[in-house]
Amino acid sequence: MGISGKWFLETVFPDLAIMLQVREVLHSGQTAYQHVDVLESRVFGRSLVLDGKTQSTERDEHLYHEALVHPAMLMHSNPRTVFIGGGGEGGTLREVLAHRSVERVVMLDLDQEVVELCRRFLPHHHQGSFDDPRVELLFQDARQYLEESRESFDVLIMDLVDPLEGGTAYRLYTEEFYRIVKSRMGAGGIMVTQSGPAGLLSFDECFTTIYKTLASIFPSTVPSQVHVPAFATLWGIILASESKLPTLTDEQVDGLVAERINKELRFYDGESHRNMFAMPRYVRQGIQQESRINRDATPVFMI
């Protein structure tokens, strides 16, 4: 391909951007909450872009979704009820439903139109998950729902857009929100949240603050990371619980995967788990040096 044609540019920093040549723009428009593009490219297949930021792509979404879902699910002894905040593409839902123990999933996405676009344009993401009878899919604010709910969950997964100023999600990364989450956890419950970029250039955008905020509330908080090509960096994922989160060996992970997951995984296994939970030194130092706590009144926004 030459340079002529449609490109999607996404800034990583003000002076650094990714240029992706787009074969087709399958959808482009504004919903009640955000701007949505569904793009198709040779290298990534179909991509979902919300407010100009790539959320996931057909080519590499399994890295992110497996890394987000499976460690939290396997660290729980018997996850039967799962809450998913966000996750409109259905990839998180798909991975959750692969766990044999799961009996009920409540998934909330604020934006019904995004979910409908994903159902239509991203079949390789959701693979029919939305039709699973264990799923209750609601279109409302995750925070308000949890606040008003009396139900408790074994695992709560926050698969949200980044905490951007003026965005839909920054109130789902604050101390106040995490207290609500905590109140809705069952015994031995675990929450996990996507936590923004964790590479050398960007771990202090929001990752370290989210860690500190979670650690101020939960006795056990564990960071992890996974390399996602579409994000052009390491991506941060943080788990938190009132119970001590276990340290799993390669063999334990492989055993649990075989026992509890009813399909072949593409990324996650014992050694990938070991990679995810061995954090590069700069991130550990960044966590030590971070002093900000994310609160409703003084939120930390990503650049």
* Residues tagged active-site: 159
Q: Give whole-number Cα distances, 128 to 16, 33, 51, 198, in Å.
A: 37, 25, 26, 31
Encoding tokens for residue 78?
């018997």
Show the tokens assigned to 53: 């930021």
Choose which of 130, 139, 282, 301 interacts with a second copy (CB under 8 A).
282
Q: How far is the CB of 110 from a second copy (least distance, A)?
A: 22
- Distance in Å, CB of 234 to a second copy, minimum: 5
- Does position 21 interact with a second copy (CB under 8 A)? The reply is yes
Q: Give the residue, chosen from 33, 34, 36, 37, that forms a contact with a second copy under the rule CB under 8 A.
A: 37
Provide the edge-to-edge strand list for the sheet that holds 53-57. Answer: 24-30, 35-41, 45-50, 53-57
Burial of 226 (0-12, 13-18, 19+ CB in 10 A): buried
Binding of a second copy by 199 (CB under 8 A): yes
Tokens, residue 229: 């090509």
We find the least distance from the C-beta atom of residue 21 to a second copy, in angstroms, to be: 4
Site string for a second copy, 78-107 (x = CB under 8 A): ------------------------------
Secondary structure (3-state) at 218: coil
Instruction: Pick the closer one to a second copy by CB: 8 or 178.
Output: 8
The size of the interface with a second copy (CB under 8 A), counted in residues, is: 57
b/e per residue 10-39 (b: at least 16 CB within 10 A): eebeeeeeeebbbeeebeeeeeebbebbbb
Residue ranges that bind a second copy, judged by CB under 8 A: 1-11, 13-22, 24-25, 28-29, 37, 41-44, 52, 59-60, 63, 199-201, 227, 229, 232-234, 265-269, 271-272, 274-275, 278-282, 284
